[in-house]
Chains A and B, each alone.
Chain A
Amino acid sequence: MTSVTSLAPPASGSAPQGAITDVKKRYAAGVLKYAQMGYWDGDYEPKETDLLAVFRITPQEGVDPVEAAAAVAGESSTATWTVVWTDRLTACDSYRGKAYRVEPVPGQPGQYFVYIAYDLILFEEGSIANLTASIIGNVFSFKPLKAARLEDMRLPVAYVKTFKGPPTGIVVERERLGCFGRPLLGATIKPKLGLSGKNYGRVVYEGLRGGLDFTKDDENINSQPFMHWRDRFLYCMEGVNLAMARTGEVKGHYLNVTAGTMEEMYRRAEFAKELGSVIVMVDLVIGWTAIQSMAEWARANDMILHMHRAGHGTYTRQKSHGVSFRVIAKWLRLAGVDHLHAGTAVGKLEGDPMTVQGYYNICRERVNQQDLPRGLFFEQDWADIRRVMPVASGGIHAGQMHQLIDLFGDDVVLQFGGGTIGHPMGIEAGAIANRVALETMVLARNEGRDILSEGPEILQAAAKWCKPLEAALHTWGSVTFDYTSTDTSDFVPTASVA
């Protein structure tokens, strides 16, 4: 660990100082440095019950990183810009966030990782809104910082236990579907805007009967003039049930209940329940409190809750400023979603493979070990709350099946939207191609074959007896999205956009 004092820029009258212990000086009216006020303690040993956060900060020129770290701790806990005597009416020392470690970001001059510990008393039980208002409420606009990013959090078991977590979880979802030992298969209905309810339901039926487990509304399918929500729900459930009768498998369509008010979301969710849907969906943009309310509703109604992470790229993608998706994934596991879009690594959307695997581990593991190459700064014990099923969606196709299974294993929903519906022989053929590619690859892996290197030939062998797969590989086999990732680990030598 780099020592803190060595990080300080050349002394320019702002050398870091510890907390002022003389009470008279400490509480004299006026302005003190945050470190002087007690928001920096390089000797602090975090308690098991503390919430821990690591921020990446870029201090303004001439701002000492330790003072900047103390300022982040202060502004995300009790501090204001000046000394207030009313602190002395409280056990203020325990309410202060404590910055306890500062280290330079490898290979990124001017950026520092700062670690802050928060006492458990600062947080209301079971409220992501309260957690986020505290940790990211003010500090990201703080003038002495050019930029700040919340990289990771360690949530103590005592706090995790105040949340109910996913209403269904991977285990129960699979038991309800009766599907074990392979990734689930899905597709988002395309085009995502403009289809009438009747035409939309046709795509649902063709895809499910072809072998998909799920089809999906896209994030912005709500209740527009071309298709009102009730019509969509009715036609989709016709398709779902007909496909169940044709295949003997349990099927579902993620009915997006996202709406302008909680009342309207409940209305739509109730109708989905009345029609016998096994799953409903919401978008991340509905907000933390609405998400927790829908999780409560899903629990009360035996419903799987699918989360589309619409909008997250506005604050998760850039490494210098925002909130890492790994933190969003942790908050969503607490808040209680069953499915979460967590990236594909190989598809059309941002995602460095190891960073994306870090998100998957947050969704699925009982305990996350510290894993810096995958971006996990802390060990995280999930206290047995259920596992979230990650969803890989966006620009993936059957020709990548070996890579997807190698990266993500079995407990994932692989969603091929264009890669199903755009199939030259039709939607059902597109679904068959994906299901055959999936099953043949899982079979081969279980037989001990090295699918990462032998994958293309395993797919070609199946294409010999499966025309739809042959056509899919012919159409998309060479499509890749090889762009440099923006959000990458700082601890492995991967290429990164500066």
Chain B
Amino acid sequence: MPRITQGAFSFLPDLSDDQISAQIQYALDQGWAVSLEHTDDPHPRNTYWDMWGTPMFDLKDAAGVMGELKACRTANPESYIRLSAFDSTRGWETVRLAFMVHRPEQEAKFRLERTEGPGRVQHYSVVRA
């Protein structure tokens, strides 16, 4: 069954909470700030998912993040939730690890829309199936 394969670990079986917790600890050990985002529109170009609060800059304990994840899942059971780890080191100042931590029962599906252009050119849009 096809599924959205964004994020670092989408080709693995869904991570258990213990596995998620270990990844969070890894991110915190690097000095990265963890955050959660959720959406019902996982379009490949949808950059701005809804933030579940601000990045947890001062949180140093994976258990705290897991508590937030539980709350986010309860509030958004039919959404995609991704966990991101942000590195504020000069020259990076970007996300260094991101992966899915929750999926809806029914995965989103996309299809390709084509518009004829000059010559044999096709203009493509990825749209919700």
Residues of A within 8 A of B (CB): 171, 174-175, 178-182, 211, 230, 234, 237-238, 241-242, 244-250, 274-276, 366, 384, 387, 410, 432, 435-436, 439-440, 442-443, 446-448, 462, 465
Contacts and interface: CB of A to CB of B under 8 A. Distances in A.
B98 interface: yes
Nearest to A211: B11
B99 A181 contact: yes
Contacts of A238: 122
A74 B96 CA distance: 48
B126 A181 contact: no
B91 interface: yes
Contact of A245 (B23, B112, B119, B120): B112
Interface string B116-129: 00011111101000
Contacts of A241: 112, 124, 126
B113 to A, nearest CB: 9
Contacts of B112: 241-242, 244-245
Contact of A246 (B2, B9, B42): B2
A432 B26 CA distance: 26
A178 B93 CA distance: 15
B84 interface: yes
Interface of B, secondary structure class, is loop
B75 interface: no
Given A171-B92, A241-B126, A234 B121 contact: yes
Interface in B8-57: 8-13, 15, 19, 22-23, 26, 42-45, 47
Given A244-B44, A246-B2, A439-B9, A274 B95 contact: no
Contact of A442 (B8, B45, B90): B8
Contacts of B99: 181
A248 B43 contact: yes
Contacts, number: 113
A151 B120 CA distance: 49
B85 interface: yes
Which of A245, A250, A274 gathers the greatest number of chain B CB atoms within 10 Å? A245
28 contacts: A178-B44, A178-B98, A179-B98, A180-B85, A180-B95, A180-B98, A181-B97, A181-B99, A182-B8, A234-B122, A237-B122, A241-B126, A242-B112, A246-B110, A247-B44, A248-B4, A248-B42, A249-B4, A249-B5, A274-B121, A275-B121, A276-B124, A366-B91, A442-B8, A443-B23, A448-B22, A448-B26, A462-B12
Contacts of B96: 180-181, 410
A202 to B, nearest CB: 16
Top 10 A-B residue pairs of the complex, sorted by shortest distance between their CB atoms = A181-B97, A248-B4, A446-B26, A241-B124, A181-B8, A180-B98, A245-B110, A180-B95, A245-B112, A182-B8
Nearest to A444: B22
Interface of B: 2, 4-6, 8-13, 15, 19, 22-23, 26, 42-45, 47, 84-85, 90-99, 108, 110-112, 119-124, 126
Nearest to A234: B120
A248 B108 contact: yes
Contact of B110 (A248, A439, A442, A448): A248
B3 to A, nearest CB: 8
Contacts of A410: 96
B55 to A, nearest CB: 14
B102 to A, nearest CB: 15
Contact of A248 (B5, B11, B90, B119): B5
Contacts of B94: 171, 174-175, 180
Contacts of B23: 443, 446-447
Nearest to A365: B91
Contact of A446 (B22, B44, B84, B119): B22
B114 to A, nearest CB: 9
B6 A249 contact: yes
Nearest to A246: B2
Contacts of A247: 2, 4-5, 44
A459 B26 CA distance: 21
Contacts of B110: 244-246, 248
Given A171-B93, A248-B42, A436 B11 contact: yes
Given A171-B92, A387-B91, A245 B111 contact: yes
B84 A180 contact: yes
A181 B4 contact: no
Nearest to B46: A178
Contact of A180 (B12, B26, B97): B97
A211 B6 CA distance: 10
Contacts of B120: 234
A425 to B, nearest CB: 16
A439 B8 contact: yes
Nearest to A275: B121
Contacts of B9: 439, 442-443
Which of A175, A248, A274 gathers the greatest number of chain B CB atoms within 10 Å? A248
B95 A250 contact: no
A274 B117 CA distance: 10
Given A180-B85, A443-B9, 4 more contacts: A244-B126, A247-B5, A249-B5, A440-B12
Contacts of B6: 178-179, 248-249
A58 to B, nearest CB: 39
A439 B11 contact: yes
A182 B9 CA distance: 9
Contacts of B85: 180-181
B5 A211 contact: yes
A178 B8 contact: no
A275 B94 CA distance: 29
Given A248-B42, A276-B124, A447-B22, A180 B8 contact: yes
